[in-house]
């Protein structure tokens, strides 16, 4: 690949990166030496025995019977990543402008001066770009690690083509300055190129976001909801065509909306949803309209805010069109810590009685969340994060029992993007004793959320190139390859309120989410799941 020279803007305001000599898309750093793995015809194919345990309870005795079970999967992963685009809804917001500027800085190796000296760009905070996974052990039984993004061929953020929509017409350079997230010297170095990028008109329904956002809404689509849907579909098609893309991923990074009511005959099925859009029903939200447009254009859609964008009709439509969706709500700071700490306490046999979370922040997201309906959406996404841990332990929690869980968010303009999060965990310990853990967390909100956008983009793009089938010796004809389920639960690590396929349990525990993501990718290349048994060290030689 040639070195980076520039970033250009196309006619519709999209940022088109040049190829980067440091990007690693389309290859892995190792090959698997196994008769069950094949590298051919631009794909990696693997045979994988999935071990699970099926548990049944005797109706007569109540005794549990655990039966180890194997399922033979075959996976095929295309290795040619191609040219990929990312369209952000809310491109001119804090997250959209920050991630665009940061990718440009990484792509062009733009450093900047701080009071501590020269700072080089990086992708810290991205689990795909800045963390490693254990590949195995060497001949001396020492662990060998590789970057997470090298397990399977993945798109590199330096190669992404970025575009999007916003209800505000401000160019991305000025939007970056307005956000006041990145250091001033870095803003100065990337501004000239970002000011040429302008968001496409977006969808604005005042009933769904806070009234205090109305003054920003000067770049909006007119017409009926059906006409707006058709326009969004056209935007996606033109973005793909103009930039000569192989695929496009759409991501909601805009303001939190209020929850939409689930109404029979309106948004409960795919057909009723499409009909409700055609008739202009008031309960169709902007984010749901973007989701439908993406699905109908075959572009994966990820919801990065807490509202219930993916109503039942959206899920059914995605399944019918075999399109991918994921959500909800970027899991950046406080909730990520909560999922770790709650898992630790419950797994240690300690019983959390009360979890109280207080936040104050001063960015536009905080301003929008000062409205009760929008705060309620955020409260719901944050409150369910401990449910699976509580449900896993019938010793600590009797049926119907749950910790008190209180969440407060306040808008304090002076703190800007530097959010303050205060948490108190009160737990019952041995013999009725109490333990209290208090955490004070200052986190630059958009600098935590922007790497999640990158991770969600990379993993979602990967899943568009993966197919599987279940193999059985009893089958006379091999099954056809098929994509994973339309709801991408593999994205759960990056999302506060993971949306999962129907009749699938929600997992919020962070370690389980990361382990699932890592081991699924290992399965794509025919490697067994990682575990920490360390029998090679503990068993007799």
Residue 90's nearest CA partner among 223, 254, 236, 225 is 254
Structure tokens at 423: 């948490």
Looking at residue 382, its pLDDT comes to 62
Catalytic residue among 329, 365, 417, 455: 329
Domains 7-25+83-114+147-330+448-467+486-509 and 334-444 share a fold: no
- DSSP assigned state of 223: S
- DSSP assigned state of 202: B
Structure tokens at 432: 């009725």
Is the domain spanning 334-444 CATH 1.10.287.3510? The answer is no
Q: Where are the domains of the chain?
A: 7-25+83-114+147-330+448-467+486-509, 334-444
Looking at residue 499, its pLDDT comes to 92
Instruction: Reply yes or no on whether 331 is catalytic.
Output: no
Cα dihedral sign, 88-93-95-96 = positive
| pTM, full prediction | 0.90
Instruction: Reply yes or no on whether 387 is catalytic.
Output: no
Alpha-carbon distances, residue 49 vs 81, 95, 134, 447, 457 (angstroms): 27, 40, 20, 40, 28
Instruction: Reply yes or no on whether 496 is catalytic.
Output: yes
What is the full per-residue pLDDT of the chain (541 aa) written as tens digits? 222 223 333 334 444 444 343 344 455 678 999 999 999 889 999 999 999 999 999 988 989 999 999 999 999 999 999 999 999 999 999 999 999 999 999 999 999 999 999 999 999 999 999 999 999 988 888 899 999 999 999 999 999 999 999 999 999 999 999 999 999 999 999 999 999 999 999 999 999 988 888 899 999 999 999 999 999 999 999 999 999 999 999 999 998 898 899 999 999 999 999 999 999 999 999 999 999 999 999 999 999 998 999 999 999 999 999 999 998 889 987 788 888 999 999 999 999 999 998 888 877 777 766 666 666 666 666 667 788 888 889 999 998 899 998 888 888 888 887 888 899 999 999 999 999 999 998 888 899 999 999 999 999 999 999 999 998 877 667 889 999 999 999 999 999 889 999 888 889 889 999 999 999 999 999 999 998 887 777 765 5
Helices (H), 472-534: 510-524
Residues 292, 314 contacting (CB under 8 angstroms): yes
CATH for the stretch 7-25+83-114+147-330+448-467+486-509: 3.40.50.720
Catalytic residue among 378, 382, 388, 423: 378
Looking at residue 540, its pLDDT comes to 57
Looking at residue 5, its pLDDT comes to 28
If residue 317 lies in a helix (H) or strand (E), which one and from where to where?
A: helix 312-321
Catalytic residue among 198, 225, 338, 496: 496
Catalytic residue among 240, 388, 419, 445: 419
Instruction: Reply yes or no on whether 538 is catalytic.
Output: no
Helices (H), 352-506: 364-369, 372-383, 387-391, 445-463
CA dihedral 44, 49, 51, 54 (to 10 degrees): 120
If residue 52 lies in a helix (H) or strand (E), which one and from where to where?
A: strand 43-57
């Amino acid at each position: 690949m040639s070195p980076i020279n520039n970033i250009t803007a196309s006619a519709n305001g999209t940022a088109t990166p040049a190829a980067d000599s440091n990007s690693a898309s389309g290859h892995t750093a190792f090959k698997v030496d196994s008769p069950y793995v094949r590298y051919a015809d631009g794909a990696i194919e693997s045979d994988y025995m999935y071990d699970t345990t099926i548990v049944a309870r005797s109706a007569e005795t109540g005794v549990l019977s655990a039966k180890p079970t194997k399922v033979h999967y075959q996976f095929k992963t295309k290795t040619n990543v191609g040219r990929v685009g990312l369209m952000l809804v809310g491109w001119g917001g804090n997250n959209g402008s920050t991630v665009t500027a940061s990718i440009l800085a990484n792509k062009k190796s733009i450093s900047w001066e701080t009071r501590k000296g020269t700072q080089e760009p990086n992708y810290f905070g991205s689990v795909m770009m800045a963390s490693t996974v254990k590949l195995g052990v060497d001949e001396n039984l020492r662990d060998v690690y590789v970057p997470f993004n090298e397990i399977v061929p993945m798109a590199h953020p330096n190669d992404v083509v970025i575009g999007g929509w916003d209800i505000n017409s401000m160019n991305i350079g000025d939007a970056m300055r307005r956000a006041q997230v990145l250091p001033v010297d870095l803003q100065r170095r990337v501004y000239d190129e970002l000011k040429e990028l302008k968001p496409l008109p977006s969808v604005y329904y005042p009933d769904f976001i806070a009234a205090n956002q109305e003054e920003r809404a000067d770049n909006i689509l007119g017409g009926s909801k059906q006409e707006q849907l058709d326009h969004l579909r056209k935007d996606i098609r033109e973005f793909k065509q103009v930039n000569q893309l192989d695929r496009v991923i759409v991501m909601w990074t805009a303001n939190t909306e209020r929850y939409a009511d689930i109404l029979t005959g309106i948004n409960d099925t795919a057909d009723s949803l499409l009909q409700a859009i055609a008739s202009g029903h008031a309960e169709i939200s902007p984010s749901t309209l973007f989701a439908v447009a993406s699905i109908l254009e075959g572009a994966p859609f990820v919801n990065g805010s807490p509202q219930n964008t993916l109503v039942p009709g959206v899920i059914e439509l995605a399944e019918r069109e075999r399109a991918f969706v994921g959500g909800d709500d970027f899991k950046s700071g406080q909730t990520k810590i909560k999922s770790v700490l709650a898992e630790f306490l419950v797994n240690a046999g300690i019983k959390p009685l009360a979890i109280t979370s207080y936040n104050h922040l001063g960015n536009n997201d905080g301003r929008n969340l000062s409205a009760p309906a929008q705060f309620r959406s955020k409260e719901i996404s944050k409150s369910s994060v401990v449910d699976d841990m509580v449900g896993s332990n019938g010793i600590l929690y009797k049926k119907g029992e749950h910790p008190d869980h209180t969440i407060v968010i306040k808008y304090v303009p002076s703190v800007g993007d530097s959010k303050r999060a205060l948490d108190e965990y009160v737990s019952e310990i041995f013999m009725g004793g109490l333990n209290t853990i208090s955490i004070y967390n200052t986190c630059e909100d958009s600098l935590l959320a922007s790497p999640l956008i990158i991770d969600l983009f990379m993993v979602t793009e990967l899943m568009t190139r993966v197919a599987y089938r279940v193999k059985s010796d009893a089958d006379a004809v091999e099954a056809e390859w098929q994509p994973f389920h339309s709801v991408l639960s593999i994205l759960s690590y990056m999302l506060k309120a993971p949306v999962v396929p129907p009749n699938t349990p929600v997992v919020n525990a962070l370690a389980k989410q990361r382990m699932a993501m890592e081991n699924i990718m290992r399965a794509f290349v025919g490697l067994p799941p990682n575990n920490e048994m360390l029998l090679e060290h503990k068993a007799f030689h």
